[in-house]
Structure 1
């Protein structure tokens, strides 16, 4: 396999990230978006039966709806690998997470402080709970499928990997264990029902999560042996020592929670991932003493809100509850200092400082004051600029409701927030939300700026793109066929926006099942890119590669 391999006409494989029993993981680039992603290739034959492959596709579609959740790795796309010799292989395209698997964290840390262990597992339970509510069971919860993104505050954000893909893994595990006595991967976290080859439900995920919590707290898994089959037998018949027995400082209620999660019978475990979070909440208290974090800490009723704003960490909520009015001039000076960080490119630091000031803005000016609303908009915008697009979506969605109430839909501040919301939703992988917001925004922008304004044209371009990425390439083609003549007339045929629109138009023709037309459009576009950018430019090379791909497909 080479780095020149392209999947689905857009995902160019760059370098391998890992290899396992099921397949390979690659760093790749989505050439249509110019976005780096992770691609998991599941080897031919590993999909097992048509039923397993169908289950993967079904669950992948459902998992894609979880894109807004901070504890779930975004599944961007999936498909069939149609390269020669890859018959039966499937691939999944996921968010490229800049973190470490929990296996690495466990190796380095040993037994964790109780608050940190509770925090990490509570976040994992939050991600699992969202999936369970959508009808998806993971079936392969283990430290290798939990990524920890360190945020500098000592805890880290947990993201659950491989929903949908785990359907294949789990089915293959169960089949090998029951039919041939073989074990795929580690048996350390498998529930008794999975060992027996039975249907794995939500409680099976909680059993596996309980085994992880046990290891985080004690430094060792609940069962271990040099022989994998011995570990499987222990899951069926043995009871591990209580966590508090191995480490006396573990509170008894927390030790009891771990024991209940590891109950042999599914009906004896916690009823839901939400119950696990509720029972972990009392052990998160010391985390509030740390500096505030970009994401909310889970609690018994979800994040603690500050009225009129987005959810904040407990530390932020405490400040909001205790802060009183202060000198407005001094407070606005602090806001300006935070903005100055953004001017120097320190977007994450600027967003963090503004986030810390927002409770004080509320206390001093009130929730509907223009300075409070403007500071909230800038904090959300800078959160997105720093790469935290899902957190930005949460903040912007909350702010938008207040701006609509205070200013109405066509006020400049409201229009800006609607645009930022759509942009961040798309970058977070929620293309359906992005398409909806852009679609609602276009007529209001036309009413305010006129149909020929560059802002309207740009929004129409993003609308077409998000519609296509949301799985409606035919509709994207229709929108682009209306847009390209307007862009050509108003901006010129060589303008970057016009060229991009023609690129999208050709691509979505192909993805709509019209590869010959896509190749024809790319052929014409290649001549224009060669004239504008030169024959040897990277941009021209990418168009040439797309032309070749669609020409190859049109011949099949």
Structure 2
């Protein structure tokens, strides 16, 4: 996962000291050679924390987030932004061309190793930055308090402020219990609308984790039927303890359905995806992301089972919803448009397929680039379509 908009406003320290990253609204699942731009070609992100490659509209990688982390660390350690300017354009120019001021020139008591790490994170070329977050963590570890050490007076923040170092000082401490509501106060809210907040018993949690691990191991050996069966064995007791539409049970059912689809068992996967789509629609509304995803997967099962008309209608229905709530070139919309075009082509409906795939190809070239794997696939399909149409015309 690449966040693409790390900044102090998206980093929250919870009351127990846990640090949480928020707002994945523009985050993108990591795909090779994908350039993420808005529909107008403008770079995505917040200018004060934007990497040089984001400013240029170049390829986004995990090192993009590391650059933003360098900006955040710089600000945390000295109280100043890496770059400041009167205009966004000058600010973006500085991120691309200007050298950041070393931290020890702004705050002499910053350890030299921390200054070196921040400068490493802020290098202009993505490949010149640390290899991954694990390297950054290893270089920060010497500055963290050892287990059992109490915070000194210089380490504590304002009175009542959460302590994000607590997880390192007390690594095995249980989480604090939530306070019971005052008499007559509001009842605790459910995790999902319509579902009561049922705690997962410790033994059941262990069984679920073990089922996932066992299923994943079977998937690596492409033993799809057995991987689905392993999850099925824990679904019934989980549904009995937590409710059939609890978040954990729905996740188990969705994973089992996905495994069946991957293994080619479309007849078993189809009713499961249909039922999941209905359940998610009751919980989060019929246009919710999870309901849409399950309806699209059910449509793909129908296509594999030869129910092409129903599959095309379902995919188009989901696409219409996605277009209403998101961009026409979002990951979800692009995949749906591609599915529809290729399904039409497979049915020999070349003229209709061309009407879908040509604008999709134009969007893919603009947003993802002509060398993107899917862009190349669509271009090849269009070449076949043109040959077919030209042959029909002659």
Q: Verify same fold: TM over 0.5.
A: no
Greater relative CO, 1 or 2 (CA 8 Å, sep 6+): 2
Structure (1/2) with the larger strand percentage: 1
TM-score by length of structure 2 reads 0.45
